[in-house]
Amino acid sequence: DQQVKQNSPSLSVQEGRISILNCDYTNSMFDYFLWYKKYPAEGPTFLISISSIKDKNEDGRFTVFLNKSAKHLSLHIVPSQPGDSAVYFCAASGHTDKLIFGTGTRLQVFP
Amino acid sequence: NAGVTQTPKFRVLKTGQSMTLLCAQDMNHEYMYWYRQDPGMGLRLIHYSVGEGTTAKGEVPDGYNVSRLKKQNFLLGLESAAPSQTSVYFCASSYGQLLDNEQFFGPGTRLTVL
């Protein structure tokens, strides 16, 4: 039972355009959401987070949107750069010390 | 600061063999975690620790044991390796509880069990 779902295994975007990565969750107890970025042969690195009391959080080129009623969050990257090519994991937590990760979306940014 | 380091980086085991994966962090973090990553499965929590001398089970604890004898180290043991434990293992640490405390990950250990 996958509580955090990333239904798009891959996404290809042209440099300079917007990348939108999506994530859905099923557990209404989740109240904290994170995005991690992973390059090959490296560990994931934290990118941005949002708590359930907000519907948007922005950090430079990265913005995360949360729609609690739809149990959906998205990560927007504007403008996309070749260095953004990586696997992006959505993760969620609910009043615990544990993170539940999605399966990841591989983003490729081409020139 | 080295951050989170993992030893070894790669290992091949035969079914039934045992081994220990070592995770070390130099950030004085209280919390430490072990995950495994499998194709199409994302990262799944094996065990975690909220402080020296404590451990707790995650999503997929069966077949693994852990110990946190020192604050900076978190060991993951496989007593009798099985092919189903072929995976990439990541260790992570954080200062405290998840809210406003991101997890820092190590580079991973690729384990193959034949």
The rounded distance, in Å, linking the Cα atoms of B90 and A52 is: 27
**B4/A4 touch (CB, cutoff 8 Å), yes or no:** no
pLDDT at A97 over 80: no
Query: Which of A35, A59, A97 is the best mutation test for B, with the most CBs of B within 10 A?
Result: A97
The per-residue pLDDT for range A38-47, each reduced to its tens digit, is 999 999 999 9
Residue of B nearest to A47 (CA): B102
For the segment A47-75, the average pLDDT, to the nearest whole number, is 96
Instruction: Quickly state the pLDDT bin for B74 (edges 50, 70, 90).
Output: very high
The rounded distance, in Å, linking the Cα atoms of B108 and B60 is: 17
For the segment A22-47, the average pLDDT, to the nearest whole number, is 95
Output the CA angle B109-A9-B98, nearest 5 degrees: 55
For the segment B90-105, the average pLDDT, to the nearest whole number, is 83
Q: Which phi and psi angles does B84 have, rounded to 5°? A: -65, -10
The per-residue pLDDT for range B31-66, each reduced to its tens digit, is 999 999 998 888 999 999 999 999 999 999 999 999
Nearest neighbour of A97 by CB, restricted to B31, B59, B102: B31
Residue numbers in B near A93 (CB within 8 A): 98
Nearest neighbour of A104 by CB, restricted to B42, B92, B103: B42
Instruction: Look up residue A35 and give its two tokens.
Output: 């995005």
CA distances for A58 relative to A40, A50, A74, B66, angstroms = 26, 9, 12, 37
